[in-house]
Amino acid sequence: MTSSEDVSGLMTRGEYKDDLTHKQVLAAYDENKPRWGNTHRAAWKAIADKPYLAGCFIWTGFDYRGEPQPFEWPSASSSFGCMDVCGFPKTAFYIHQAQWLPTTKPVLQLVPHWTWPKDSIGKNIRVMAMSNAETIKLKLNGKWIGEQKVDYYEMNTFQVPYQPGKLEAFGYKGGKEVSHFVVETTGEPVGLELIPDRTSLSGDGLDAIPVTVRALDAKGRPVETANLPIEFDITGLGNIIGMGNGNHNNHDPEKGNKYSLYNGLAQVIIQSKAASSGQIVLTAKSDNLKIATITLSVKESAQIPSVGIVSPSLVLGKWKISPFYATKPDPNMEVASYDMNTWAATKPGSLQQFAGGSFALYRTSFKPFAEQCEKGGVILFKGITGKVEVWLDKQLIGTKENKENGDIIIKFPAGQNTRNLTLLIEAENNRGGIAGVVKVNAL
């Protein structure tokens, strides 16, 4: 048996104090949960101690758009994930690593960061350690400050009086050190760093990679408290197709080239251009910080088999024909909206006998497709008999000078509104008209 949609624990990456009203964030200590859910630690304990259960499916691996409970606007994403919407790990990620990975793959992680305001000095900071070792020891600025046996369900918590410097954790198994983790007090950001998920893409126009963006201090250490605006520049054979930072209260456009770090991290997603090979150069900059640049290779790739784009055709099948005239009429004559008798309905496909005169007007209207509205198009008339003037929106756009049966193609300009089309046909031997189809095509 297995269990699904478990846990639903709530936390915000990089936040270590609940603020339910102003910032709308939840501390990443795995203590918040909806009334119908549970914490990650308690939920796994309920599963793990039942031998008839194979495991569970956690709600959720990633944060996602929508369901921002317990918050409302401006929060726009959930807080259920083991990772945020960018895939940056939250505390829950490391809790489950420690619970699930075998001891042959040592796990040790500390939260929170170790960069706090000066007024925090001497005050207790709650430190949570996630490990699959047997014993954990903590050292602050070279002095041992605590030791605990690892709790594989609840993990381990220490209250550490804050002093700037280096906080270290050591994991032991059988009395031997098997893991080591460090958090340090960092300085102000002086530069940026770009970390691609990989360094090459297929040049198929579909392949994409996430690039992590973070700020570094003068010693090259990540500044987990940085919240800085970043501007990107990309050249070469790729495009930026998305940006994010995991902040469920952020509403900056995810398309473009400007975003911000949230608790030390941001992400930009790069996609190759189709049928390309060469390089992509991505640059990140922020005021007064050292610029970061990476070069990605784009490898030639066999293009995915596909059918070429087919521009749609608009068939004009509903027309009206005027009475027949002995002399040439005005092609732009107005017909009263209530006149239901003077003009008759007709459609292309056969010629008419012009009784009582050699001239007639054919009229229809159409709304071009988007491409034709933006760029203009062509009208194809199949099998027109007689001399022809083609009028569009009361402007002459083409003619046919002979009376023999034949095809004509007339270009028309761009335009967003419904177009009004009129043909003035002069028949030969009192027989003329449109014998074939009429189509509106893209250029």
In tens, the pLDDT along 363-417 reads: 999 999 988 999 999 999 999 999 999 999 999 999 999 999 999 999 999 998 8
Per-residue pLDDT, averaged over 69-93, amounts to 97
* Torsion sign across C-alpha atoms 247, 252, 256, 258: negative
Say if CB 424 and CB 359 are below 8 A apart: yes
- CA distances to 96, 108, 382, 429 from 93, rounded to whole Å, are 6, 12, 67, 87
Tell me the backbone φ, ψ of residue 42, rounded to 5 degrees.
-70, -35
Helical (H) or strand (E) element with 92: helix 91-100
Q: Please, what are the domains in the chain?
A: 3-184 (2.60.40.10), 191-299 (2.60.40.10), 314-442 (2.60.120.260)
- In percent, how much of the chain has pLDDT > 70? 100
Helical (H) or strand (E) element with 352: strand 352-353
Per-residue pLDDT, averaged over 105-127, amounts to 98
- pLDDT score of 164 more than 80: yes
pLDDT bucket at 220, cuts 50 / 70 / 90: very high
Model pTM score: 0.73
- CA distances to 76, 232, 332, 351, 372 from 413, rounded to whole Å, are 44, 39, 19, 29, 9
What crossing angle do the helices spanning 40-48 and 91-100 adopt, rounded to 10°? 20
pLDDT bucket at 302, cuts 50 / 70 / 90: confident
> pLDDT tens digits, residue range 226-270?
999 999 999 999 999 999 999 999 999 999 999 999 999 999 999
pLDDT bucket at 303, cuts 50 / 70 / 90: confident
- Our CA dihedral for 64, 65, 67, 73, rounded to 10 degrees, sits at 140
Match 């449109």 to its residue by tokens.
434
- According to DSSP, the residues that pair with 139 across neighbouring strands are 144, 168
Tell me the backbone φ, ψ of residue 119, rounded to 5 degrees.
-75, 0
* Torsion sign across C-alpha atoms 366, 371, 373, 377: negative
**pLDDT for the residue 339:** 85
> pLDDT tens digits, residue range 324-363?
999 999 999 998 888 888 999 999 999 999 998 999 999 9
> pLDDT tens digits, residue range 30-67?
999 999 999 999 999 999 999 999 999 999 999 999 99
